[in-house]
């Protein structure tokens, strides 16, 4: 696990990010666990295109999906390389099932629980 991945785990535990599901980042709502990595990579100076989707998330408000190098739901290749992660969804296998960090996030695991999974399954998640 590289230093960027360690920063990611620390950020997930920090309580500084609101959590959402279905997308890497939705303005006014929060981030999925993978979106936190994208935000950190951008703040760290990674050459990554960050843009809000041109459409609104719903007609009732102005929340928008944020895209990183064109990706809105899985890690783009640039952030995968920055993290040293094997798959864009953070895939790994437990004793009982194959899953991913994206799936855990969307199933309602909080960021601290996801950080624990990252550490527990780091050999599968990272190169």
Query: pLDDT tens digits for 81-114?
Result: 999 999 999 999 999 999 999 999 999 999 999 9
Q: What is the pLDDT of residue 54?
A: 64
Asked whether the predicted pLDDT for residue 8 surpasses 90, the reply is yes
For residue 126, what are the contacts with CB-CB under 8 A and spacing of at least 6?
A: 1, 2, 5, 83, 84, 85, 86
* Span 21-73, pLDDT tens digits: 999 999 989 999 999 999 999 999 999 999 998 666 665 667 889 999 999 99
What's the pTM? 0.94
pLDDT in tens, 69-79: 999 999 999 99
Residue-wise burial string across 14-39, b where 16 or more C-beta atoms lie within 10 A, e elsewhere: eeebebbbebbbbeebbbbbbbbbbb
Instruction: Sketch the domain layout of the chain as residue ranges.
Output: 3-125
99 backbone φψ class: left, alpha, beta (φ>0; ψ -120 to 50): beta
| 125 pLDDT above the threshold of 80 | yes
């Amino acid at each position: 696990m590289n230093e960027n991945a360690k920063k990611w785990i620390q950020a997930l535990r920090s309580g500084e990010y609101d959590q959402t599901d279905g997308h890497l980042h939705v303005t006014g709502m929060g981030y999925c666990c993978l979106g936190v990595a994208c935000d950190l990579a951008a703040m760290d100076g990674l050459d990554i295109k960050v843009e809000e989707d041109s459409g609104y998330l719903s007609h009732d408000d102005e929340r928008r999906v944020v895209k990183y190098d064109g990706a809105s739901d899985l890690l783009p290749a640039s952030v995968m390389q920055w993290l040293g992660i094997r798959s864009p969804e953070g895939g790994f296998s437990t004793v009982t099932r194959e899953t991913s960090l994206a799936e855990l996030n969307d199933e309602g695991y909080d960021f601290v629980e996801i950080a624990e999974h990252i550490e527990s399954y780091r050999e599968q998640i990272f190169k």
